[in-house]
Amino acid sequence: MKFKICAAFFLLFCLVFSQTSAFGASKQTPQSPSAVVPESRYTFAQVADGTEVTHGFVIQNKGTALLKIESVKTG
């Protein structure tokens, strides 16, 4: 009877501590990029037809991994 109680206690102890990282195995958050665009829209003033206009958008990476911009399209 004592063996069954000790075995059950040991099993419970192992389950609890394996889930809470009490043995020093800390879980690290995977690195990921995080794009931040302070100005996501821009409205141009009226211009003559055929005039080329440009506007630069600032994109900041607030994440912990490399941010790759693979494609851009206009709305």
Query: Is the pLDDT at 20 greater than 60, yes or no?
Result: no
pLDDT value, residue 34: 95
- The two structure tokens encoding residue 55: 């506007």
Give the whole-angstrom CA distance, residue 17 versus residue 10.
11
Give the whole-angstrom CA distance, residue 12 versus residue 6.
10
pLDDT value, residue 40: 86
Digit-coded pLDDT (tens) for 32-49: 999 999 998 999 999 999
In DSSP terms, which residues pair with 35 in a beta bridge?
61
Give the whole-angstrom CA distance, residue 2 versus residue 72.
68
pTM above 0.85, yes or no: no
Give the whole-angstrom CA distance, residue 22 versus residue 25.
7
- The two structure tokens encoding residue 49: 């037809």
